[in-house]
Structures are given as C-alpha cells and as structure tokens.
Amino acid sequence: MLRRRVVADDGVGLAVYDQGEPVGVPILFVHEFGGDHRSWDPQVRHFAATHRCVTYDARGYPASDVPTDPAAYSQERAVADAVAVLDALGIERAVVVGNSMGGFAALHLGLRHPERAVALVVAGCGYGAAPEHAEAFRADALALADAYGTDGGEAVAWDYGNRPARQPLRRRDPAAHAEHLRILAAHDPVGAALTMRGVQASRPSLYDLRDDLAGMRVPTMLLVGDTDPDALDATLMLHATLPDAGLAVLPRTGHLANLELPGVVNGLIEEFVAGCDATAGQVARA
C-alpha cells in the first residue's frame, strides 16, 4: 500500500492510501463519520486483486490535517476533497463508494461532478434528511459536537458507537465492533466536532434536492440495512427519485453494512462494478 499526501485547493493535506491492481475501473472509498480509511479494509482486501483501490482520511481525521477554521468544513468541501484525491492520483473517472457521511459525499459528487464518476455506491445515506426529522438531527449533531469539548472523545465514542443502528455490528462481530469503537475514540476532538458542525449538521436535505437528483444519470447502487430506519426511509426516496438506481435492502443489518456483512456487500459491489468494467470496455472499443 502506498500512502501519500494530497493537498486540497485550500492547502489542507489529506492522507491517501493507494493499492491494488489497475485491471478494472478504479474504486474510490469514502468513509463515514465514525470511521476513517480503515473502515473499508474488508472491501479493499477483496477488490485490490483486480482494481486500483483508493481510500483516504477526511480532513479533520489524522493522518490528514485538522484545520481549526470552521469554514474549512462543509458538504461542498467534502466533495471537493474527493475530487482533489482523484486529480492528484491522475484518475479521470472512478466508481465512488461511500457509507453514511461518505455516502452523502459520493452522492453529491455524482450530482456536481458526474463526469468523474463511472458509477456510485451509496450506503447508509440519509440520516436526518427527512424534513420532519431535520431539526432533531441538527440538534443532536450540535450536541455531539459540544460533547467532544465537555465529555471527551472516549465518552462520545461510547455513546455514538453504541447507538441502535450500530448494535447489529456488535451482535454479529464483537471484535469488529470493538475495533470500530477504538477508531471512533481516537478521533481528533477538534476535527470531529468541526466535522459534525460543518458537514453533518449543515448539509442540505436530500429531499430539497429531488429535482437535481431526478436529473442525475450516474448509475447508482443504493445499499441500506433494514434496522437503520432513518437511512432506510431516505434511501427508498432516493430509489424512487434517481433515474438509474438499484436498491439492496439487507436484512437484520444496521448502519455499518460493509462491516456487518462484508462478504454480502463485497458480492453486491463486485457484480455492480463488473457491469461498470464491461461498460467502460465497450466505450474504449467504440
């Protein structure tokens, strides 16, 4: 695995991890709030034999830089960072895979930069998006941000990492859940709080973007667990709105589907990406 530093257009450095074989279309993985680049290890191990796999730590997550300016964190900046990673690695187009916060970034990349995405895999995306839940979600996100200063990272990790939608991972794989808590507890408290405020609490509602989403023609696979109710409702809306989207609802699965059922998720992504590889080959021969 090659680790390198990529500098975004505002000077923030991102730790990027590049590995795998350049046989199929490159795959860019974008992590959720509660993880970092390691959250995609089960997928990278699977796909690295056949695809170039790129992961990175979002800004605010060491080994990436942790800017202290609140203006450095936003949904728009999260998308710009993903594009900066592709640019720095010379990747014109990729399959972009994201979970939760990373799923929002993948979806917005498809909306704003469709020419950079061969396809999208959007998992666990939608918490707080429904209009009737928006204020409660924002209040909870801001309270979590405050808790990093008052209670500390370990207390936040225990609260956040043991919420109901994360319990299926503990039941299925206690060791993986313990590792998830360790990664979450090690987050930089400044970066985590500013991410929660600037990205999570401030992102636009997907329901307000339905007109834009209805015109987005990037092929998209939606993944969601059936015990992740907030993400499930929004994912069903996305499936009804996006013009080229497939849907996989995973039974007895929560918010961390790629860790809870890595074999199942790998298989779903593999089949989807194989179609993308075939399409890319047809375009190349045309």
Tell me, what's the pLDDT at 19?
A: 96
Q: What are the extents of the domains in the chain?
A: 2-285
Tell me, what's the pLDDT at 238?
A: 98
Tell me, what's the pLDDT at 286?
A: 37
pTM over 0.75: yes
Distance CA 221, CA 43 (A): 16
Tell me, what's the pLDDT at 280?
A: 55
Query: pLDDT (tens digit, 9 = 90+) per residue, 178-235?
Result: 999 999 999 999 999 999 999 999 999 999 999 999 999 999 999 999 999 989 999 9
Which CATH code of 3.40.50.300, 3.40.50.150, 3.40.50.1820, 3.40.640.10 fits the domain covering 2-285? Answer: 3.40.50.1820
Which positions of the chain have pLDDT values less than 50? 281-286
Tell me, what's the pLDDT at 278?
A: 64
Tell me, what's the pLDDT at 48?
A: 97
